[in-house]
Structure 1
Amino acid sequence: MAPAVKKRGISTTVFENGYILGLDAGNTVIKAVLFDLQGQPVAMKAQDGQSSTPQPGHVERDLNELWANARQVIAGCIDEAGIDAAEIIGVGCAGHGNGLYLLDKAGEPLIGIQSLDTRAAGMAEEISNAKGDALHSLCLQKPWPSQTPVLLAWIKRHRPEIYANTGTAMLCKDFITCKLTGERVTDISDMSGCGLIRMPDCAYDDDLLALYGLSDAKGMLPRLIDPAEVAGTVSAEAAAATGLAVGTPVIGGYFDVVSSAMGSGVVCAGEASIIAGTWSINQVFSDAPAVNDGLFMVSGFGPKRFVNIEASATSAANLEWYVREFVERGAHHDDPFGYCNAKVAEVAPAADDPFFHPYLYGSGQGAAFRGGFYGVAGWHSEGHMLRALFEGVLFEHRRHIEVLKSAGVRFDRAVLSGGGSRSPVWPQMFADCLGVPIFVAEAQETGALGAAIGVSVATDVYGSYEEAIGRMTRRKSEFLPNVAMQSHYNTRYAQYLALIEAMRGFWDSAQTSTER
C-alpha cells in the first residue's frame, strides 16, 4: 500500500525511508528519475517524443504518444531500481511552460501545441498593440506567440470547432498529472508563467480573460492549486499502466524553469539561477514580484515566493548547432562537445577576437535578428570561432541579467545549471563576465529533482523548501571571478551591444528582401 500524506484531507504515516519519483516533461524528451530522500538519483529513464509540423510555424505533438512515453519511463525507472512501488512516497512532474494542451469534454485529447509554435505571432502582435499594457498591469507579462492564452485565442478564431469541443485547457505536465490521477488541475507556477492568472495574487481573473478575448473560457481552466499541494492519487488504471502503487500521492507540479532552479539549490529571495540550455534562462527569486514592462515574465510558486525571469532561445542551442553541422559530420569525433571545449581552452583571449551573435533561433529583441560571426581575420582558428560562440552566448545571458537589474532585481552569486554548466571552460567565463561567484550544481536532472523536492514538502518529509533543498541538493564546484578578465569582458560586451545596433538595419532589410 502506498504512503499517503496530510494534505487535502489525506492522512496516513509517511515513510521514514523511501523514494520520490520526479518527472520532467520537455518539448521532446520526457524523463523519470527516482530519488532517495537525500536527493540522490537511484534510477533514470528517458524517452524522445515526436513533433509534427502540419503547417509552417505549427509545432504539435500527439498526446497519446506523450502518455505512452510517460508510462514507459515510469515503469522502466521502477524496474531499473528494483524496488517495491509502494516505497515511492509521491510523484511530482515539471513541464515546459506555455504551449497549449486541450482535452475535450470527455477528457480525451484534442490537440497538443508545443511552446516552439509560432502560428499565433500575428495574434500576439494584435493583442499586444491593443491591450499589452493593460495585460501587463494584471499578469506582469505581455503577449507573445506561444503564450498559452494567445494560442487559445488563436484556436477560438481559426479552429472554432476545436474550441467549441474543448473541456479543459491545460499545460504539458498537467496532462500527465491528469492521466495519473484523473484530476484536471494546474499549478500557480505554470499558470503565472503563461500569463493566465492575476499577479501577485496568483488567482484566475475575469478581467484578464476578457483582455485576451476569452471571457467564455473560464470554465475550461483547470482547478488551480499550489505546486507542492497534492492534486490527487494514482488511479487503478494508471497504476496498471505504469507500475506505480494505487493511491500514491501526485502533486500539482512545476513550471520547469522554477523546478530546475530548485533542483540546482536555489529557492530563497535574492538567489539567482542561470540555466545554459536550449534557452538562456536567467532568474532571480524574490518575496515580491518585480514590476517592469521590460521584463519577460514573473512566476509565482507560493506565498511570497516569486521568480523574475528573463529568457530567450539564445544559449547552448547555438553550440549544439555548431556540433551538429561542423563537428559531427562524418563521425569525426567521439566526444564532439569535449573537442569544442578543448579548442576554446587553447585560445588566449585577445581584444581582436571575433564576435558571435547567438540568434540562430531568433531573438525577443526583433523578429529579423539572425546569428553571425564578425571580425574574423586570417590568423583566427577554429578555437577563436568557438570562443566567439561561447562568448556570444555568455553576453546574451548578461544582457538578460542587465534587464533584471534594471527592474530592481539584485544578486551577488548564482548557480549555473543546464548543459553549459558541464563545460570545463564556460562556468569560469560566466564568473569573469558577470563579476559574481558561480556555483555548479551536483545534480544533472535538476528539473526532475525540483519536482521531487516539491513532493518532499507536500508529504511532510521536510518542513519547508529551504529544509528540503538543504538536504536534497549539493554544489559540485565554485568559480570565482578573475578581476583581470572583467575589464576585458566589459569592453567586449559594450562592443557586442554596439554591433547589435549596427546590424539592426541590415537584418530588417534582409528580412524585407526575403519576404519579397
Structure 2
Amino acid sequence: MTLTAGIDAGTQSVKVVVYDDQARRVVAAASAPLELSSGEDGSREQHPDAWVAAVRSCFGALDAELRGRIKAISVSGQQHGFVALDAQGEVLAPAKLWCDTSSSAECVEIMDAVGGAERSIALAGNPILAGYTASKLPWTRKHRPDVYQRLATILLPHDYLNFWLTGRAFCEHGDASGTGWMDVRTRQWSAEMLHAIDAERDLTPCLPPLVASDRVFQLQPGRADELGLAREVIVAVGGGDNMMAAIGTGCVVPGRLAMSLGTSGTLFAYSDAAMVDPDGSWAAFCSSTGGWLPLICTMNCTVATETIARLFGFSTRDGDVHIESTTPGAGGLTLLPFLNGERTPDLPLAKGVLTGMGTHNASAAHFYRAAMEGATFTLKHGYDAFLAAGMQFDRIVLTGGGATSAAWRQMVADVFDLPVEVPREAEGAAFGAALQALWACSLAQGADLSLAELVDAHVGIDAALACTPEPSRVAAYREPYRRFLEHLVAVRQLYTA
C-alpha cells in the first residue's frame, strides 16, 4: 500500500487529499478557505503566507497516523499568479492572481513591443492575455517600484509552495507555459518575450530552472516535522491546476475533453503535438505529462451562479430547483457573465451584461438559469474554436464545483450535445496531484510505468452521475445560444471601443 497526498491551492481554498493506491480511493481529505483581496481597478491578490497557513491547517486536520504513512506529495496551484521573492527568498508583495485584470494595458504594451499579437504567438505560442503572468511584471515596475527593484526570483503559486516545501526554486513546463514568456514549442524561456517585458533589465536570472515532469525533490526535514510527515517523503514537480486536473480526469491521451466548472471555467484536451492557433483562439499550453494541453479558459463560471444566488438570497446548493422550474432560454433572458472581465473571449475590461428582462422573467429562477446558461454558453463559444480546428471528441469529463449540480451536468450534455461523465474522485486537481505523486513513487521504486498507464488504472467514472443529451433540449438550446452569440458581438464592440 502506498499513500500519496495531493495539494490543490486554488483561488477560494486549499485542499489536500490522501490517496490509497491499493484501495483505489481517497482515504482522507481536508480543506481551508482563502480570502481574496479585490480592487476596483481589477486587482485580485492573495498573500502567499495565506497559502502556507492553509496547507498547515489541512495537514493538521488529517489523522497523525495516516500522515506518517504518506510516501510522496505533489502540488497543484492556480495558474498565472506572480510571486516576487527577494535575494533571501522572502515574499516582497501580495501575489497578483490569474483573475487580476488590472494589468490589461500592460498586455497590449508587451505585444506592441514584439510587433503585435501575431508576433507574440510566433515567439511563444500565445498572445499575452489578461491574467497571464507576463503583464504583472511591468505593472509591478510601475506601481511597486521598490518591489521590482528588489526582485530576485519569480515564482508561480505552485512553484512557491514547492519552494516552501523543498527549499528549491524550480518550474515545470505546464505551469510555465501560462506565464506568456515560455515558447511552448521548444519548452524554453523566450529571450525576446522577456526583452519585451523589460527592455532595460535581463529578467533571465530571476527565472527558476525548468524541470521535466518526472523529477522529484526531497521534502525539507523541518517541513516534514511541521506537517507531521516522514522525513523520507518525496515531492513530485506538480503543476498548474488545469494540468493536474487533466491527470485527475484521465485527460492524458488524445480524444478526451475535460471541462472544469470552477470559479473559472476551463476546457482542455491532451495532444501529442503543440497545438498553436495563429489567431490565439485558445491557450497553447504544455501539459504536465510531457505533451501539450490546448485549453480554453473563461474567467466567470461558478462566480456567475454564486453572484445571482447571493443577490436573491439563496444558496447555489438549492439552485437546481430554479433550473428545473424554468425552460432553456430563461424566458428570453441573456446574461453575458463577464463579472471579472473575460479572457475567452478576450475582453479584459468587460462587465456582466443582462438583456431581455420583462415582467414575465423577472424572477430568481430565470436569473439563475440565465447565469448558468451564460457560463455554459461562454465555454461553448470556446469549444467551437476547437471544432473549427478539426478536433473531435466523443464525451466530456466534467469536474469542479459546478459538476456537483445535476442540472448543470445535464445542461452541459444538452448544450454541447455530448455524453457527460464525472470522475469518481470529485477533486480533480488535488486527485491529479496525488496520482502524479504516486507515479513519482513508482519511478523511484524502479517501475517501468507511463503516467498514462497509471492514470488509466486509477481514474474511475461515477456511473450514477453520467448523463446523455436529451434531443428536445439540444434543439431548445440552439436559439438561446445563437442569441448569446449575437449579444457577444455587440458587447465586444462596446468593450473594445
Query: Pairwise mapping of residues 420-431 of structure 1 onto structure 2 (< 5 A)?
Result: 420-431=402-413
User: Is the contact made by 1:226 and 1:301 (CA closer than 8 Å) also made in structure 2?
Assistant: no
Q: Aligned pair in 2 of structure 1 residues 210, 78: CA closer, same or farther (>3 Å)? A: farther
The CA deviation string for residues 350-390 of structure 1, in whole angstroms up to 9 with x for no partner, is 79543222222222343453323332333335433332222
Question: How far apart, in 1, do the equivalents of 2:82 and 2:351 lie?
Answer: 27
Question: How far apart, in 2, do the equivalents of 1:418 and 1:99 lie?
Answer: 20
- Which residue matches 2:488? 500
Q: Which of 338, 341, 355 lines up with 1:359 in the alignment? A: 338
Matched, 1:386 2:368: yes
- Which residue matches 1:291? 276
Alignment partner of 1:99: what SS? coil
Q: Which amino acid aligns with 1:101?
A: V
Q: Which stretch has the larger CA shift, 232-241 or 207-216?
A: 207-216
CA offset at residue 187 of structure 1? Answer: 0.9
User: Is the contact made by 1:235 and 1:247 (CA closer than 8 Å) also made in structure 2?
Assistant: no
Q: Which of 355, 365, 372 lines up with 1:374 in the alignment? A: 355
User: Is the contact made by 1:290 and 1:407 (CA closer than 8 Å) also made in structure 2?
Assistant: no
Q: Aligned pair in 2 of structure 1 residues 508, 196: CA closer, same or farther (>3 Å)? A: closer
The CA deviation string for residues 226-283 of structure 1, in whole angstroms up to 9 with x for no partner, is 23421x1111211222111113110111110111122122211121111111112111
Q: Aligned pair in 2 of structure 1 residues 491, 62: CA closer, same or farther (>3 Å)? A: closer
Q: Which amino acid aligns with 1:499?
A: H
Q: Which amino acid aligns with 1:114?
A: L
- Which residue matches 1:412? 394
* Structure with greater Cα Rg: 1
- Which residue matches 1:8? none
Q: Which of 311, 336, 341 lines up with 2:297 in the alignment? A: 311
CA offset at residue 475 of structure 1? Answer: 1.1
- Which residue matches 2:20? 36
Q: Aligned pair in 2 of structure 1 residues 353, 182: CA closer, same or farther (>3 Å)? A: same
Q: Aligned pair in 2 of structure 1 residues 20, 283: CA closer, same or farther (>3 Å)? A: same
What RMSD, in angstroms, separates the aligned Cα atoms of the two structures? 2.4
Question: How far apart, in 1, do the equivalents of 2:348 and 2:430 lie?
Answer: 33
CA offset at residue 191 of structure 1? Answer: 0.3
- Which residue matches 2:468? 480
Query: Pairwise mapping of residues 60-209 of structure 1 onto structure 2 (< 5 A)?
Result: 60-79=45-64, 82-83=65-66, 85=68, 87-111=69-93, 112-131=95-114, 132-209=117-194
When normalised by structure 1's length, the TM-score is 0.87
User: Is the contact made by 2:45 and 2:97 (CA closer than 8 Å) also made in structure 1?
Assistant: yes
CA offset at residue 176 of structure 1? Answer: 1.1
Q: Which amino acid aligns with 1:493?
A: Y
- Which residue matches 1:22? 6
Unaligned runs of 5+ in 2: none
User: Is the contact made by 1:284 and 1:411 (CA closer than 8 Å) also made in structure 2?
Assistant: no
Question: How far apart, in 2, do the equivalents of 1:267 and 1:360 lie?
Answer: 32
User: Is the contact made by 2:263 and 2:303 (CA closer than 8 Å) also made in structure 1?
Assistant: yes
Q: Aligned pair in 2 of structure 1 residues 120, 503: CA closer, same or farther (>3 Å)? A: closer
Question: How far apart, in 1, do the equivalents of 2:24 and 2:377 lie?
Answer: 33
Alignment partner of 1:314: what SS? coil
- Which residue matches 1:10? none
User: Is the contact made by 2:308 and 2:367 (CA closer than 8 Å) also made in structure 1?
Assistant: no
Q: Aligned pair in 2 of structure 1 residues 59, 45: CA closer, same or farther (>3 Å)? A: same
Q: Which of 409, 414, 418 lines up with 1:436 in the alignment? A: 418
CA offset at residue 136 of structure 1? Answer: 1.2
Question: How far apart, in 2, do the equivalents of 1:204 and 1:368 lie?
Answer: 29
Question: How far apart, in 1, do the equivalents of 2:348 and 2:438 lie?
Answer: 42
Question: How far apart, in 2, do the equivalents of 1:469 and 1:482 lie?
Answer: 31
User: Is the contact made by 1:23 and 1:448 (CA closer than 8 Å) also made in structure 2?
Assistant: yes
User: Is the contact made by 2:421 and 2:466 (CA closer than 8 Å) also made in structure 1?
Assistant: yes
CA offset at residue 139 of structure 1? Answer: 1.6
When normalised by structure 2's length, the TM-score is 0.90
CA offset at residue 56 of structure 1? Answer: 4.1
Question: How far apart, in 1, do the equivalents of 2:336 and 2:207 lie?
Answer: 40
Q: Aligned pair in 2 of structure 1 residues 507, 84: CA closer, same or farther (>3 Å)? A: closer
Question: How far apart, in 2, do the equivalents of 1:432 and 1:28 lie?
Answer: 29
Q: Which of 251, 254, 257 lines up with 2:239 in the alignment? A: 254
Unaligned runs of 5+ in 1: 1-16, 329-335, 510-516
CA offset at residue 105 of structure 1? Answer: 1.1
User: Is the contact made by 2:335 and 2:370 (CA closer than 8 Å) also made in structure 1?
Assistant: yes
Question: How far apart, in 1, do the equivalents of 2:478 and 2:43 lie?
Answer: 40
CA offset at residue 189 of structure 1? Answer: 0.7
Query: Pairwise mapping of residues 452-467 of structure 1 onto structure 2 (< 5 A)?
Result: 452-460=434-442, 463-467=449-453
Question: How far apart, in 1, do the equivalents of 2:190 and 2:495 lie?
Answer: 40
